[in-house]
Structures are given as structure tokens and as C-alpha cells.
Amino acid sequence: MRFLQAAGLSWATVNTVLAAPAKYGLDRTLRFKNDGTFQLAVFEDLHYGEAEDLVWGPQQDVNSTRVMNSILDNETPQLVVLNGDLITGENTYKHNSSHYVDEIVQPLLDRNLLWASTYGNHDSDFNLSRHDILKREQKWSNALTRQDVSTSSSGVSNYWLPVYPSSGPAKTPELLLWFFDSRGGNYYQQTTVSGTSVAQPNWVSQSAVDWFTSTRTHLCTKYGRDIPSLAFVHIPVNAMLAFQQSQNDTGVRPHYEPGINDDDPLAQQGYTAGQGSATNDDDPVYTYDGEDIPFMQALLDTPNLMAVFSGHDHGDDWCFKWDTKLPGMNLTGNGLDLCFGRHTGYGGYGSWERGSRQILVTKEMLKRKAVETWVRLEGGAVSGNVVLNGTYGKDWYPAVPDA
């Protein structure tokens, strides 16, 4: 509670936002379906707004919209997660940079779907503001994205959402969804003394971690138990790199962690080369120095957190079970599953078939801390269907084509 007050928030404020259906005329309450299921579709790295003055730039956005429509024609999620890099901010103009949100969410509005966003490193630049993206999203009652931490260092998209039973009053959630801002990119309308853009650190801030741990404790007290949860953050944590590099130089095992693994080594929180450098005054810093350790520790300390989903590295879409002390790390995993999504947008690098990670939980699966997940590809096929349960990492699955 003290942290919320310091951030200019209160539980009354948060609860008012969560109880918005009457205000907006749309039922914004997330619920399990009558059959006991809840499904999410994750759109990663859409990268709208690249090269808007050239023919190929707007065409990429048309292609990305086609991908989303294809996915949503084949899947029936109750919530869509826009998990970072919605817009390529370094290519946009100040007067219209956040307007790309309108194009991004049109397939969701057409289907009256609810959505929630995290912001990525490309969602901040000299002409693009995270706050303006949030304001643009919140034009529509379908947007559940909000800002629960208002410190200057926290980024914007740190918040949580409850998922309630299929019927009855929305009192005690069956599932919690956590959203984090891993920041990155450049600060809006700021320059150094030499006239260059001012880089923003690219990891979940300590202020967001403090909010997370405080809120987690409050919710446990409020509901009398640690409710099962999932988390979303754009840039992956260092444990994913440590795992990727730990398999006797053979990479991620294609039959046990199925998925493409072409961004090898991947770029994690705190690593800045090639993605907008954090700075020491005006000198770029290109090293990883454990910046995300407090965030990783907070994730491990969260009872009933089942899985964390990231994007950022377009050439990776595998999951792994963090249940050991990985090489080069002081933290020991507790069985938490960490997953990449699939590159959804035609903006950004990479020629792999576009798609969207799907996440399915059932009330029965929650009792076993299990999650089913797969990638729905643009062409309609399903890729990498796995069950994240106690034996994931030991169970054999078909390999995913590297395409």
C-alpha cells in the first residue's frame, strides 16, 4: 500500500479501473468460458510504422494486419496480448507516431475483443512516447492496458489483470495476469549535450519490481491464497540466454524445447548492443551486468507463477523449464517456464513465417500448474504444441521446422 501511495495510486483507484464495464458500456471483465477454459493470443513485435514514406513500409503494415486477421479467424481467444514493439519508433514522426495504434487494433475492434499491451524497446524514441501509445489505446473500452507505476524510471506498462470464474460475481479471480515494461529505446523528445537521443535502460526497473512484490503480497492477503498467474514482458530475462548457451554448445533441444532458435545468442534485458544503448553519460555501454537480477528474483519468489512470455528476439519461439542453477548465474530456477512468442509483424528483421503464440489454461490444469501453448502460423498450421507441466523438458515433441 505504501508503494502505491508513493506512485500516486491507491487500491481504490486500481479497483475502479478494473470495474469499468458500467462506465464504458462494454463488459471488460475477463472470465473463464463456461467449459472452464481461458485462452490468450499473443501478438509479438508488430513493428508498425517502418519506412512510412516508402511503398514497402505501409505494405508491411497491411501484411501484419493480414496475419492478425488470419490468426483470429482460426483461434477464439478471450484476450489478445500485444507484447511489445507495437511500433518502430525510430521511423515515425512526432505528429502521427502513436496513430499507428488505430491500425494495429482494428482487427480486435472488428471482433469486439479485449486486449492488453506491454511496451517494447521500439515503442520509445525521440518522436514516439509510451504515454502517448497508452493514451491512444485507451480511446477504446476494449483496451485493458494501464499504468500502475508512475515513477520516472518505471516505464509505463506495469499492471495486473484478474480472470474470474465463468459466472457469478467478480470477487475472487481464478487467474492473475502480470504485465511488465522492460523499457529500452530512447526517451521521448530528449537529447544529450551532443544532440544525440537519450537511451532508456532496457530492463524492468527496481521501482516496477517493488510495485510487483508489494502488489503480490497485497493480493495474497486480500484473496487468502496465492492465485495462479502468468506474466508478460517484451525483452526476455538473462535466464533464457543462460539456458540457450548451456546445452553443450548444441543449442536448444529441438525435441524437448521445440521451436525455432535462430537468434543465438539472444539479446536479453540489460544487453544493449544493437538495440539502443544504455549510456554512461554519452559513452555507450554494450555489456550485460546483471541488471535484471532483481526482476528474476521477484519472479522466482512468486508462488504459483506458472510461465513468463517474451518476444524481442524474432528468431526464437521456444519454451524452457528453469529448474536448475544455470551456468554463469547465481539464481536457481524453481520450475518456472519461460517462453518466447512468435514474430507476428512484417516489420522488423526476419523472414520466418509469421504467427502468434496461443496460451490455454483450464480450471483443471490450474490445479497442476499446467499450461497448454502452441503457435498458430499465418498460413493456418499449428506449430510447437506443448504442455508446460511438471515433466516439460523431459517430454518428447516433434521438432519445429526452421522456417
Dist. CA 349–CA 163, nearest whole Å = 34
Q: What's the confidence (pLDDT) of residue 140? A: 97
Q: What's the confidence (pLDDT) of residue 102? A: 98
Q: What is the pLDDT along the chain (403 residues), one digit of tens a residue?
A: 444 444 445 444 454 445 444 344 689 999 999 999 999 999 999 999 999 889 999 999 999 999 999 999 999 999 999 999 999 999 999 999 999 999 999 999 999 999 999 999 999 999 999 999 999 999 999 999 999 999 989 999 999 999 999 998 889 999 999 999 999 999 999 999 999 999 999 999 999 999 999 999 999 999 999 999 999 999 999 999 999 998 665 669 999 999 999 999 999 999 876 433 444 445 554 578 999 999 999 999 999 999 999 999 999 999 999 999 999 999 999 999 999 999 999 999 999 999 999 999 999 999 999 999 999 999 999 999 999 999 999 999 999 999 9
3-class DSSP assignment, residue 280: strand
- Cα angle 175, 176, 177 (rounded to 5 degrees) comes to 125
Residues paired with residue 125 on neighbouring β-strands, in sequence order: 128
Q: What region, left, alpha or beta, does residue 335 occupy, with left being phi > 0 and alpha being psi -120 to 50 degrees? A: left
CATH class name, domain 29-388: alpha beta
Buried b (16+ CB within 10 A) or exposed e, 67-105: bbebbbebbebbbbbbbbbbbbbbbbeeeebbebbebbb
Q: What's the confidence (pLDDT) of residue 8? A: 46
